[in-house]
Structure 1
Amino acid sequence: MNKKIQLKGITWGHSRGLLPMVATAQRFEELHPNVEIIWRKRTLQEFADKSIAQLSEEYDLMVIDHPWTGHAAAQKRVVALDEVLSKAFLEDQKGNSVGKSYTSYNFEGLQWALPIDAATPVAASRPDLLAESGIAVPKTFDELLALAKIGKVAFALIPIDVLMSFYMFCCSLGEDPCLTTERIISEEVGVKALKLFKSLADHVDERFYNKNPFMVYEDMVNNDDIAYCPFAYGYSNYSRDGYGRKVLHFHDLVALGEKGPMISTLGGAGLAISSKSNHIDVAAKYAEFVASPEIQATIYVENGGQPGHLKAWKDEEVNRRTADFFGQTLPTLERAFLRPRYYGHMHFQDHAGDVVVEYLRNGGDELSVLATLNTMYKESLQLVGSNE
């Protein structure tokens, strides 16, 4: 009897991250009896922190965060998918990208992962609580601030999410971060972004300084004080009947002044193949299976996944199952900001959020905050690697 080919994969420990990979692996094994795929999970923080170099030594398949793309490309720790997947398949992936999801894994002209999962900060509400209070879903920042002042608003305030939200405020004010090598953002936009952010954070309960996005959603469905989250990386799981005590509805972001709806910072997850794998060809077939439009709109999403293929986002049955999560939030994804992916940005990302959190909690001089961020930013640009 021939020994089975075994692939090991690592993903992140949430229903959205683990269950669709286990389900697709099970079906792939049924179609390819000579293959066994074992998926393991890590925490959301490890998902953002643990290096691709470490993971590539242990696993054939890796679900990765796109800011690692530049790092992975520089060290050649993952396979350039252009070498193992057909041009036609990759063209379909590119043409059906949800916003910049496909581009987020493209670096130096090569594709380093498939965007199997698409996400950006979106708004979420408890329709029952808003109805009880006679309050409509806010449409403007002023309406959001009024709702926050009566204690009905919360969002993730851990450092990484705070930094992504700072980027969001900057983009929404008309300037993307990291446009030059001298500063993270102009003083005018940076100061205004910090002040707006703090004006809102001042009315959020302290407990949310310890919560990531899905912890915010858990809080919202298990307690009855928070009716609205204005921005947190979307999790369609919470819009599905039976997943939580209550169902959340998801929405586009509020408008900031006359500039229209806010622009959040793209997230999501990609499926990459370790260059150290002994079975790159089999891993590529599985990756193609997972990212295919048919699987994305069926097995993947039916088992808690949040697909990265546009056809799944527009699928009527997918939206029926999720209180129109995908239809409501697609515009937010389509305009989301693609954060930098140069080699050293992970270092900046790991530390800069702490500076903004300190400001939100304790106040301070905005120009001093920006100066500290600028120093960190310039240092990150000097780290050895391949810059975009």
Structure 2
Amino acid sequence: MNLPFKGLTWDHPRGFNALDKAGREAGQIQWHKQPLEGFESAPIAELCAAYDMVVLDHPHIGEAVAEGCLTRLETVFAADALDAIAAATIGSCFRSYEMDGSHWALPLDAASQVMAWQPAHIEQEVETWSQVAEFARLSGQVALSLAGPHAILSLMSIAASLDETLDLGNGGWIPDETCRAAFDLMQSVHAHANRAAFDQNPIGILEEMSRGDHILLCPLIYGYVNYSARSANEAVSFRNAPRARVGGRPGSILGGTGIGISAGCTITPELTAHLLWLMSPPVQTSFIPAHDGQPSARAAWSARGVNADVRDFYSATAETLETATLRPRHDGYIGFQAKASAYVRDALERRKSTSRVARDLVEMFTKSLPHPERTAT
């Protein structure tokens, strides 16, 4: 079937199945897939040139705005429709796609780094970072998610638990003292972590956790509801991200995805109606989760029916989603994220000093800024 529009999403049931079924049934969008790694790093302008719609993460917004490759949502949807989506969306998902006074993607999917664990094998309480480090030391069955961009994202999440006011979405970097303390905590866990997951992306780690008991806990990993929906012997449970102190903020960096409309797309009323349908409360609380998606609507995260078949994945992690902080989004951040993550992996292996790591990261971040005269804070 030749459909009028072509979209690109990522190659996982969570990213593809609901969009594919909806697009085909509406006779609107033919969705194509790319690997998760391409989703995280491919130049957004190239993707927008080839597709009418692109599923993207919020750190790409600065690059997309600089390249002029996305359409302002305010030119497509009525203000009251956008206001309704903003009010219904969990946490900062809607805000994450805002830049220069406009919004550039519809927040279809919500996620953040949360804790994945096997409660049947863990008897002690593991809620704070000191408890995570102690469990890693005693068990050797803790995995850190470090592949791709996830090493630096984990460092940023730990920093967000230590500094409960930290929000990187408006620019700036982690304060030096917080960065040093976060890397020190990361080192303490890494020293006793299970090495089997060192090179695996989040999907690979969750697959490992679902197949055996050699990895019992991953303190920071982007949550995938699909793994909670599996049969009991293959399911992975999720809970809020670790805190620096009991009762503190669960430290996490927002993920999830939005649908951006390419600047070259010829938008029709039928397409506009279809996209608004995807964001509507009934679809977010029924159709999306029923087809392997992970909705962005707050109502879905608290709905008993949505939680019933996925071991309370949503309600058990909703606090983390509500308080998750944004990444920097400037043009140049994506390159920094890749370099900084590789640097953090190397620093953990070489056991570099916390002061050197903090100094090197702030230098890398400053160099990534579009205006060299700006300094990181």
Regarding TM over 0.5, the answer is yes
Paired-residue identity, %: 30
Identify which range, 310-319 or 135-144, moves more after superposition.
135-144
SS at match of 2:198: helix
SS, match of residue 341 in structure 1 = coil
Letter in 2 for 1:358: D
> Which residue of the partner structure matches residue 210 of structure 2?
221
Question: What is residue 375 of structure 2 aligned with on the other side?
Answer: none
Moved more, 283-292 or 336-345: 283-292
RMSD: 2.2
Q: 1:147 maps to what in 2? A: 135
- Give 1:374 shift: 1.9
User: Are the counterparts in 1 of residues 254 and 326 from structure 2 also a CA contact under 8 Å?
Assistant: yes
How many angstroms does 1:180 deviate by?
A: 10
Say if 1:280 and 1:377 are closer, same or farther in 2 by CA, change over 3 A. Answer: farther
Residue 173 in structure 1 maps to residue 171 in structure 2: no
Q: 2:73 — aligned with what? A: 81
> Aligned ranges for residues 127-166 of structure 1 at < 5 Å?
127-130=119-122, 135-149=123-137, 150-166=139-155
TM-score (structure 1 length as normaliser): 0.90
Structure 1, 64-73 or 370-379: larger mean CA deviation? 370-379
Counterpart residue number, 1:378: 366
- Shift of residue 56 of structure 1? 0.9
Match of 2:32 among 29, 40, 61: 40
Match of 1:195 in 2: 184
Question: Which segment is superposed worse, 79-88 or 101-110?
Answer: 79-88
2:269 and 2:344 map into 1 onto residues whose CA distance is 44
Indicate conservation of the 8 Å contact 1:21/1:39, yes or no: yes
Alpha-carbon distance between aligned partners in 1 of 2:277 and 2:246, rounded to the nearest angstrom: 44
**Equivalents in 2 of 1:140, 1:377: separation in Å?**
28
Tell which deviates more after alignment, 365-374 or 103-112: 365-374
Separation (CA, whole Å) in 1 of partners of 2:328 and 2:174: 13
SS at structure 1 position matched to 2:294: coil
Q: 255-264 or 356-365: which moved more?
A: 255-264
Query: In the alignment, residue 69 of structure 2 is paired with which amino acid?
Result: R
Match of 2:18 in 1: 20
Which segment is superposed worse, 11-20 or 280-289?
Answer: 280-289
Residue 124 of structure 1 corresponds to 116
Q: CA deviation at 1:167?
A: 0.8
Are the equivalent residues in 1 in contact too, given 2:168–2:326 (CA < 8 A)? no
- Check the 8 A contact 2:90/2:296 in 1, yes or no: yes
> How far apart, in 2, do the equivalents of 1:11 and 1:239 lie?
22
Distance 1:217 1:79 in 2: 35
CA–CA separation in structure 2 for the residues paired with 1:288 and 1:258 = 40
Q: How does 1:68-107 map to 2 (within 5 A)?
A: 68-107=60-99
4+ runs deviating over 6 angstroms: none
Does the CA-based 8 Å contact 2:109-2:295 persist in structure 1? Answer: yes
User: TM-score scaled to structure 2, two decimals?
Assistant: 0.92
**Unpaired runs of 5+ in structure 2?**
373-377
SS at match of 1:210: coil
The 5 Å alignment of 1:339-378 reads 339-378=327-366
| Pair 1:237–1:195, CA change in 2 (3 A) | same
CA distance in 2, matches of 1:178, 1:106: 14
Please state whether the residue corresponding to 2:250 is helix, strand or coil: coil
Aligned to 1:271: 259
CA contact (8 A) 1:173 1:259 kept: no
Q: How many residue pairs were aligned?
A: 370
Query: Which runs of 5 or more structure 1 residues have no equivalent in the other structure?
Result: 30-34
